[in-house]
Amino acid sequence: MTKQNAYIITDDIFMDSLHIICKNFKDIPYAIVGGGAVQVYVTYAAIKNGKFDSIKEINGLPFILRKTGDIDLSFHFDFTEIVKRFNLIITNAAGNYRFHSFTKRFVIQHKNDRFNLNYQTEPEDLKGIPSYYEDIIRTAILVDLPCKNEILKLKIAKPEYLIASKLTRSRPKDQIDISLILKSAEIDNYPFDSEEVRSILKSVGKGDNYDILMELMSG
């Protein structure tokens, strides 16, 4: 059965959501986290390696990316000001999309298609590794994505934090995402630091889960 309102980065509603993030929040501290960040990083690495001019040119993404209905954002900024920015998007709305603003959730809608931007404003909002909330944003990496005739500059959590967060739960789907991040880091020539992941996991009482990373790295 097909999951409704679940998309990958090549779908228009996902790409347009990334455009909204880039346009409205590029000047404030934030990081895309979770599954949305995985999709952005995997796509960025593929484009960089294949020298593609557009996300749409990449073959095979539907077979490796896990569909999602949302993008998660971590902000280090005044909550009231963030809400104002989302409300301004609604005020200036034009074209095919309708927007709805809820508490820490912004909905992008086109006909029956809906996509959520879930946002966090404090450590308690972040699952798994809340004590690293501010550092995740401070160390976010900037990636360029060619999308609809423009380059989107997006901030995503660095691979060590993406992987550590997923290892705190380590569900089968998290392990698939971790494998994708590791492969993308290799393609990107990113200096991945597994010892940093070990330290993070140990600090949150999940040190035993480091063995899962070692298995995935050796597989």
- Looking at domain 12-158, its CATH class is alpha beta
Instruction: Encode pLDDT of 103-144 as tens digits.
Output: 999 999 999 999 999 999 999 999 999 999 999 999 999 999
pLDDT band at 149 (very low <50, low <70, confident <90, very high): confident
Which string of DSSP letters, residue by residue, matches 16-66?
Answer: HHHHHHHHHHTTS-EEEEHHHHHHHHHHHHHHHHHT-SSGGG-SSHHHHSP
Averaged pLDDT for residues 174-178 = 96
Higher local confidence (pLDDT), 121 or 53: 121
For the CA atoms of 106, 108, 114, 116, the dihedral, rounded to the nearest 10 degrees, stands at -30
The share of the chain scoring above pLDDT 70, in percent, equals 99
Q: Please state the domain extents for the chain.
A: 12-158
